[in-house]
Amino acid sequence: MLSYSKHLLVGLVISVGLALGGCSGDTPPEPTASATPEATAATPEEAQTPADPTPQAENTPDPNISPLGGKPATEEEKEYYRLQKKAEDLVLAKNYEKAIPLLEQALQQRPEDPENSFYLLLSHGSLEMVPSKGSAAYPYAKKVLEVAPKSNEAARARSYLVGAEFKPPAQYGNKTFFTLGGFVYEPKVNYKLVADAPLHVNLNARMNKDGKATMWEAEVAPSMVTGTVQLTKGTEVLILSESHYFHSLTSWRKPLPDQPREFDDSIFEVNAFYVEVVSEGDNKGKKGWMVNQVDRYLSEDREDPFGVWVPDRLGLVREAEAKG
């Protein structure tokens, strides 16, 4: 019998407040954690903490050379380069409030330069708690995708837009990993889905960070994710392996550590299985990853600080239930 080890969650450390964008000064407000559950041990492939992806100003154009055919830059071009460089330096120093008016000025001069829109996304987005459709950052994320759809900046802008699509349910469930632990299942037993689920057939069996983000994003914004087939309720699958990880609404800005030390309500706890379809039909024999359950961190005011957002799709026995 296989079982995903239950979290050794022994309590919550309550921290004070969630800092929002009303703060002044050069350093932008960062979301303040509410509590600190003890996270599960990281698997070997998840042991490294990703680096801060804040862009580095390494390829700043030479202000004396025009980008148009290598001709000498005009005075107007030189002035634009100086303005943009000053704004980017402020962004890299996390002085977002001072950078924003300069970036808006640069964007007005050259609306098709994706760097202006991207740095405005980064600046406004870093001053908010989480992405939203009504935020100041949202239109700049859309603009980055419009003017530079294949760039690295576009990938992060897309992640922002996906996060902005998240809608909390009318009511969260209470059978969380925090209270009941992981799932118990047999290695050679077929299990029937108790709810529909997308199967990610394009993801490698060995899960990486991009794959984890993709699975979470498909739950938030299905229309923005490709490479899935829809499994319907009643489909039988064989469980081949399991993954358990955390993801955040702010991962577009800075990836969440594999084992978060602090939690806030932007964080989700995801359980996923790598399965093979055994039911007769067009999908028989297909292998891929499916999200089985997703919990969301709610607040420090509850005995159980998590709530179930995506309920257990395989109807598996929980560790606490198996022991009780």
pLDDT of residue 218: 97
Q: Are 276 and 285 in contact (CB under 8 A)?
A: yes
Q: Which domains does the chain have, with CATH numbers?
A: 54-128+131-164 (1.25.40.10), 177-323 (no CATH)
Neighbouring residues of 99: CB distance < 8 A, sequence distance ≥ 6: 87, 88, 90, 91, 119, 123
The token duo for 162 is 């996906």
Q: Give the closest residue to 311 by CA, choosing from 289, 290, 292, 286.
A: 292
Q: Give the closest residue to 295 by CA, choosing from 319, 261, 267.
A: 267
* Strand 236-248, strand 190-192: pairing: antiparallel
CA 46 to chain centre: 15
Q: Are 215 and 291 in contact (CB under 8 A)?
A: yes
pLDDT of residue 133: 96
Report in angstroms the alpha-carbon separations of 117 from 15, 147, 175, 292.
Answer: 35, 9, 42, 37
Q: Give the closest residue to 50 by CA, choosing from 128, 141, 145, 156.
A: 156
pLDDT of residue 63: 58
Question: Which pLDDT tens digit goes with each residue over 263-306?
Answer: 999 999 999 999 999 999 999 999 999 999 999 999 878 888 99
pTM score, whole prediction: 0.76
List the chain residues with pLDDT less than 70.
1-70, 324
Report in angstroms the alpha-carbon separations of 139 from 117, 153, 161, 200.
Answer: 9, 14, 9, 30
In three-state secondary structure terms, 274 is strand
Q: Give the closest residue to 47 by CA, choosing from 208, 176, 201.
A: 208
